[in-house]
Chains A and B, each alone.
Chain A
Amino acid sequence: MPGFLRAALAIAAKDLRSELRTKEVLNASLAFSVTILLLFSFAFDPSSEELQQIGGGLLWMVFAFAGALTLNRSFARETQNDCLDALIASPASSSALYFGKALANFALLMAIEVFCLLVFGLFYNARLAAQFGTIILVIALGTWALTVIGTMFSALTVNLRLRELMLPTLVYPLMIPALMAAMTLTTDLLAGTPINNENRIWLRVLLAFDVIFTALATFFVDTVLVG
Chain B
Amino acid sequence: MSESTVRDKVLFGLAGFAAILLTWNLHTIFLVMPDELNQGAIWRIFFFHVPAALLGLTGFGLGMIFSLTYLFTNNLRYDAIAESIIEVALVFAAVNLVTGSIWARIIWGIWWAWDARLTSMLVCWLIFAGYLMLRRAIDEPTQRARLSAVVSIFGAVDVVIVWKSIEWWRTQHPAPVLSIRNGGGMDPGMESTMYWNLLALFCFAVVLVMVRMRQARISQEIDSLRRLAHSY
- Please list the residues of chain A having a beta carbon within 8 angstroms of any beta carbon in chain B: 149, 152, 156, 159-162, 165-166, 169-170, 172-174, 176-177, 180-181, 198, 201-202, 205, 208-209, 212-213, 216, 220, 223-224, 227
Tell me which of B126, B154, B155, B164 has the highest count of chain A C-beta atoms within 10 A of its own C-beta: B154
A170-B150 contact given A176-B162, A205-B161, A209-B161, CB 8 Å threshold: no
Question: Considering only CB atoms, which chain B residue lies closest to A220 in the complex?
Answer: B150
Give every chain B residue within 8 A of A176 (Cβ-Cβ).
123, 126, 158, 162
A109 to chain B minimum Cβ distance, whole angstroms, is 20
Q: Is B158 a contact partner of A177 (Cβ separation < 8 A)?
A: yes
- The answer to whether B138 touches A213 (Cβ under 8 A) is no
Contacts of B219 in A (CB 8 A): none
Kindly list 15 other residue pairs between chains A and B, CB separation below 8 angstroms, not including A160-B134, A170-B151, A220-B150: A156-B147, A166-B134, A166-B137, A169-B130, A172-B126, A173-B123, A173-B158, A174-B127, A177-B162, A198-B172, A201-B165, A201-B172, A208-B161, A216-B153, A216-B157
Beta-carbon contact of A174 and B150 below 8 Å: no
10 tightest Cβ-Cβ pairs between the two chains A and B: A173-B126, A173-B127, A162-B137, A205-B165, A177-B162, A177-B161, A170-B130, A201-B168, A174-B158, A169-B130
Shortest C-beta distance, A179 to chain B (Å), equals 11
Is A213 a contact of B137 with CB atoms below 8 Å? no
Residues of chain B lying within 8 A (CB to CB) of residue A156: 147, 150-151
Chain A residues lying within 8 Å of B127, measured Cβ to Cβ, are 170, 173-174
The verdict on B102 contacting chain A, using a C-beta distance below 8 Å, is no
Q: Mark B121-162, 1 if CB is under 8 A from A, else 0.
A: 001001100100110011000110011001101110110011
Complexed CA–CA distance, A174 and B154 (Å): 8
Query: In the complex, which residues of chain B have a beta carbon less than 8 angstroms from the beta carbon of A220?
Result: 150, 153-154
B8 vs chain A, min Cβ distance (A): 36
Determine the distance from Cα of A202 to Cα of B138 in the docked complex, in whole angstroms.
Answer: 36
Q: Report the bound CA distance from A224 to B164 in whole Å.
A: 28
Of chain B, the residue at the smallest CB distance from A170 is B130
A149 partner residues in chain B, CB cutoff 8 A: 154
Measured between beta carbons, the chain A residues less than 8 angstroms from B172 are 198, 201
Interface size on B, residues (CB 8 A): 27
Q: Is the interface of B mostly helix, strand, loop or mixed?
A: helix
A152 and B157 CA atoms in complex are apart in Å by 15
Which of A161, A212, A227 is in CB contact (< 8 Å) with B137? A161
Q: What residues of chain B have their CB less than 8 Å away from a CB belonging to chain A?
A: 71, 123, 126-127, 130, 133-134, 137-138, 142-143, 146-147, 150-151, 153-155, 157-158, 161-162, 164-165, 168-169, 172
Is B169's CB under 8 angstroms from A166's CB?
no
CA distance A223 to B143 in the complex (A): 10
A170 to B133, CA, bound (A): 9
A227 to B71, CA, bound (A): 9
Q: In the complex, A208→B147 CA distance in Å?
A: 24
Shortest distance between the CB of A158 and any CB in chain B (Å): 10
A residues less than 8 Å from B164 (CB atoms): 205
CB pair A169–B133 under 8 Å, yes or no, is yes
CA distance A177 to B155 in the complex (A): 12
Q: Give CA–CA (A37, B99) in the complex, Å.
A: 37
Which residues of the partner chain B approach A216 to less than 8 Å between Cβ atoms? 153-154, 157
Shortest beta-carbon distance from B157 to chain A in Å: 6
Nearest A residue to B169 by beta-carbon distance? Answer: A201
Find out whether the CB atom of A166 lies under 8 angstroms from the CB atom of B133: yes
